[in-house]
Chain A
Amino acid sequence: MKSRPGRLACAAAQLILLLGVAQAAQPTISWTWLPVPAGTDPGKAAFMRACAVCHGDGPDHPGTSSLQIKYEGKLPALLEQRTDLTPDLVRYYVRNGFAMMPRFRKTELSDAEVDAIVNYLTRVRPEPAAHPAQPPASRQ
């Protein structure tokens, strides 16, 4: 059995580790015009390359603008700040598009890259959202 100071040190280390994980997992907003740095998380890299041009931060990003109008501040307009996205939802929109957003083909984003984006966008989930966002019920 560990001594009390040992337990405290262990608890502190675990806390530091948890905070560290939380900080590392907290995504920063992707930026459109920079090359993806080497070593970037594959999900974030794919997001930066394929999604951030529309869903990045700033007034030049139509995906962000349209979600701002849609949610009126009730949910973050930036996908990287959302905590209610589910894997199914992300996969649905990537492959089916919505409104002016076209579908993304496998030559643009492979299934592995979509999985990595799903992982990246759904990673920070402090608690299950009461009403997780759902894909549209049907689409022709």
Chain B
Amino acid sequence: MKAPPGIAPARFEQALRKWRGIVGADWVFTSAQDLDAYRDSYSPLYGEVTERVASAVVAPDSVEQVQEVLRVAHAARIPLYAISTGKNLTYGGSAPAYSGSVILDLKRMNRILEVSERNAFALVEPGVSYFDLYRHIRERGLKLWIDCPDPGWGSLVGNSLDHGAGYTSAPFRDHFEARCGMEVVLADGQLLRTGMGALPNSKTWQQFRYGMGPMVDGLFAQSNFGVVTKMGFWLMPQPECALLLTAEAGRHDDGPAFIDALAQLGYEGLITSQLFVESPVMGFPMGPELARLRADWSERRVPALEDYARRNGLVFWSAPFAMYGHEDVVRTQLAHIRRRIEQIPGARVRETACLRFPLADDQLAAAPDKARLGIPSLSYFVSRFAPGAPLFEGHIDFSPVVPLDGQTLREAQDLFDRICQEHGIAPLGGRVLLYHLRAACLIYAVPVGRDPQANARARAGFARLMEVAAARGWGEYRIHPAFMDKGIGYYNYNDGALLRFHERLKDAVDPHGILSAGRYGIWPRHLRKHV
């Protein structure tokens, strides 16, 4: 057993003893085998001396236990790193940002505390996964939908706090926008509730976000100022029907106008679901012929790519989306959408399914595009496997936020395509993703695995992508801990005023720096490199 950096072994042993007394000996882990399970399976530093690993794990079962555990850590100045379900893979998984931290594993806190069908909300603990809440709702036949990200095994709380998003209607698909009310344990063990939760015996904690005074919810997302132990979420009432649709445009040069038209339909509220614009010609993965054509940046490039699409019967651009509500209403709205898209010569909107709810069990199993129907799954990972393809062990996502402007987004795609080629990176994705509200995100899943040399190449390419994006004013919306310092380093307006403000907050609310050191570049004073 190894104590966290700078912590005397005797002090660490004493803290472990106290934690065992609080959570039970079975829920404090120190053996190499148990700690191994907390390694980030998708770490770009896997197996290297710089890999971020835990020194121990403590797993409380209640808010009171979290308070006690933090009091011990605060007194002994031992660094903790909080995780919820530990499935934030691509963005760190269950490993700490600061190597040697003790993992505060909240997975055992998995209670669904309330689901209101009348007012369409849920109140959950951090260990509740999207699958858990979906099963809970389905078991009771409640007329509610959840919104889930691609993999459904993650935590509602954890995903929201890392600014994750899903697929159904706005605002539910922006998971931090869909929150309403938080309970937080501060570093010294104090408990607070945000919004209406600050009013004892409040009846509207999950219905009115503001409460009175400054709204501090955002301070606990992508940060390390407290440990969130409860969180409310607004849920979408079950619609009468959902139309699954795909907009399509046939030529390379249609890209900017196609993106702009879809964005405008989003601004007008006619398309409220998440949508992405993808291309079997311009996206990833790609076979050898397409790779060769894409590597040619001469004037031959576009005609060759269009010829490739024609020969292979591929639609150049497509954008799957969904519409929800009463069928007569959505069909009227669809007519407007069609008229707008069809202004692009040859473009069209294809209806792929019309589903009415609730779904019977067999309909549910067969339902296409489950995420757009609020059904959690892991189908996202299926695309990682193809006959003859190299073993895909993991990935880290480069996810810059780019202005919702068709021409700019197309330029960004070509720019990142060039960098991937230069660095020998073969990512997946590259879609224009209308993920959060009012901005686009391009997500490139850069493969990482167990080969340190391949990981080093991936890291170099990833860093270059970040540099190029930042030079154009595009920053990542979320990032792996190995790149958090670099990522936040680009958010340096006025000599890094924002990060310095974060640090002042950190010093005030966590003076000993025990909570999740290094998360999103926020380090306690004694670990800051620039102090």
Tell me if B297 is interfacial: C-beta within 8 Å of chain A: no
Within 8 Å by CB of B384, from A32, A62, A140, lies A62
- Report which of A61, A65, A107 forms a contact with B107, defined as CB distance below 8 A: A107
A137 at the interface (CB under 8 A from B): no
B interface majority secondary structure: loop
Q: Check B128 for interface membership: any CB of A closer than 8 A.
A: no
Q: How far is the CA of A31 from the CA of B377 in the complex (A)?
A: 11
| Cross-chain contact A100 with B59 (CB below 8 angstroms) | no
Find the B residue at minimum CB distance from A36.
B135
Query: In the bound complex, what is the Cα–Cα distance between A99 and B387 (angstroms)?
Result: 15
- Decide: A69 and B387 in contact? CB cutoff 8 A: yes
Given A99-B393, A104-B37, A53–B153 Cβ distance below 8 Å?
Answer: yes
A102-B87, A140-B46 given; A107·B59 CB < 8 A: yes
Query: How far, in angstroms, from A31 to B136 measured CA to CA in the complex?
Result: 15
Tell me, rounded to whole Å, the shortest Cβ–Cβ distance linking B61 to chain A: 10
Interface size class of A (residues with CB under 8 A): 20 to 34
Q: Which residues of A contact B107 (CB under 8 A)?
A: 105, 107-108
Contact yes or no, A102 B93, CB < 8 A: yes
User: B492 interface residue, CB < 8 Å from A?
Assistant: no
Residues of B within 8 A of A34 (CB): 135, 138-139, 361
Q: Which residues of B contact A66 (CB under 8 A)?
A: 384-385
Across-interface contacts of A61 in B (CB, < 8 A): 377-379, 382
Contact A107 B47, beta carbon cutoff 8 Å? no
Chain B residues 379-402 with CB under 8 Å of chain A are 379-382, 384-387, 391-394
For A105, list chain B residues within 8 Å (CB): 34, 37-38, 57, 86, 94, 105, 107
Of the residues A33, A58, A108, contact of B86 by C-beta under 8 Å: A108
Residues of chain B within 8 A of A88, CB atoms compared? none
Q: Which of A31, A65, A103 contacts B41 (CB 8 A)?
A: A103
Count of chain B residues with a beta carbon within 8 Å of a chain A beta carbon:
53
Within the assembled complex, what's the spacing in Å between the Cα atoms of A74 and B42? 30
Cross-chain contact B392 with A100 (CB below 8 angstroms):
yes
Cα–Cα distance between A32 and B377 once the two chains are bound (Å): 8
Contact B450 A59 (CB under 8 A): no
A103 to B39 CA separation, bound complex (whole angstroms): 8
A107-B361 contact in complex given A65-B382, A99-B392, C-beta closer than 8 Å: no
Name the A residues within 8 Å of B134 (CB-CB).
Answer: 33
CA distance A67 to B47 in the complex (A): 26
B131 interface contact, C-beta 8 A:
yes
Shortest C-beta distance, A107 to chain B (Å), equals 4
A61-B382, A62-B382, A66-B385 are contacts. A102–B365 as well, Cβ < 8 Å?
Answer: no
Q: Is the CB of A53 within 8 A of B37?
A: no
Asked whether A59 lies within 8 Å of B364 as measured between CB atoms, the reply is: no
**In this complex, what residue of A is CB-closest to B47?**
A140
In angstroms, Cα B274 to Cα A90, docked, is: 38
Task: Give Cα A129–Cα B85 distance, bound, in whole angstroms.
Answer: 36
CA distance A102 to B59 in the complex (A): 19
Q: Are A33 and B379 in contact (CB under 8 A)?
A: no
Please, which residues of chain B bring their CB within 8 A of the CB of A32?
A: 131, 377
A41 within 8 A of B: no
The chain A residue sitting closest to B392, CB to CB, is A100
Shortest Cβ distance from residue B437 to the other chain A in the assembled complex, whole angstroms: 27
With an 8 A cutoff between CB atoms, is A39 at the interface?
no
Known contacts: A33-B134, A33-B138, A105-B37. The answer to whether A59 contacts B379 by CB under 8 A is yes
Cβ of A54 under 8 Å from chain B = yes
Residue picked from A61, A62, A66, A105, most chain B C-beta under 10 Å: A105
Contact between A31 and B382, CB atoms less than 8 A apart: no
Residue numbers in A under 8 Å from B387 (CB-CB): 69
Label chain A's interface by main secondary structure: loop
Contact present for A53 and B29 (CB under 8 Å): no
Q: Does B36 contact A (CB under 8 A)?
A: yes
Kindly supply a per-residue 1/0 record for chain B positions 69-106, scoring 1 wherever the CB is within 8 Å of any chain A CB and 0 otherwise. 00000000000000001110100011000000000010
Q: Which one of B105, B375, B382, B393 has the highest number of Cβ atoms from chain A below 10 Å of its Cβ?
A: B382
Q: How far is the CA of A107 from the CA of B131 in the complex (A)?
A: 17
Shortest Cβ distance from B38 into A: residue: A105
From A53, A58, A69, A104, B385 is in contact (CB under 8 Å) with A69
Known: A33-B134, A35-B136, A108-B86. Contact between A60 and B391, CB under 8 A? Answer: no
Q: Is the CB of A103 within 8 A of B36?
A: yes
Chain A CB within 8 A of B108 CB: yes
Tell me the bound Cα distance from A58 to B365 in angstroms. Answer: 8
0/1 interface trace, chain A 13-46, chain B, CB 8 Å (1 if under) = 0000000000000000001111100000000000
Q: Bound state CA distance, A103 and B35, in angstroms?
A: 11
C-alpha spacing A34/B386, complex, angstroms: 29
Q: Say whether B370 faces chain A, with CB atoms less than 8 Å apart.
A: yes
Name A51-103 residues within 8 Å CB distance of B: 53-54, 58-62, 65-66, 69, 95-97, 99-103
Contacting residues, chain B, for A58 (C-beta < 8 A)? 365
In the complex, which residue of chain B has the Cβ closest to the Cβ of A68? B385
Q: Which residues of A sit under 8 angstroms from B384, Cβ to Cβ?
A: 62, 66, 100
CB atoms of B138 and A54 under 8 A apart: no
CB-nearest residue of chain B relative to A140?
A: B47
> Are B138 and A100 within 8 A (Cβ)?
no
Pick from B37, B41, B379, B386: contact of A106, CB under 8 Å = B37
Provided the pairs A62-B379, A105-B38, A106-B37 are in contact, do residues A31 and B365 lie with their beta carbons within 8 angstroms?
Answer: yes
- Can you list 19 A-B contacts with CB-CB less than 8 angstroms, sorted by A residue number? A34-B135, A34-B361, A35-B135, A53-B131, A53-B377, A53-B378, A59-B382, A60-B370, A60-B377, A62-B378, A95-B36, A95-B37, A96-B36, A100-B41, A103-B36, A103-B41, A105-B37, A105-B94, A106-B37
Query: Beyond the given A61-B378, A100-B384, A102-B42, could you list 15 further A-B residue pairs with CB under 8 A, ordered by the A residue number?
Result: A33-B138, A34-B135, A53-B153, A53-B377, A60-B378, A61-B377, A66-B384, A69-B386, A69-B387, A95-B33, A99-B393, A107-B127, A108-B85, A140-B47, A140-B450
A contacts, CB < 8 Å to B: 31-35, 53-54, 58-62, 65-66, 69, 95-97, 99-108, 139-140
Give 8 nearest A-B pairs by CB, closest first.
A62-B381, A60-B379, A107-B107, A35-B139, A102-B41, A103-B37, A105-B37, A60-B377
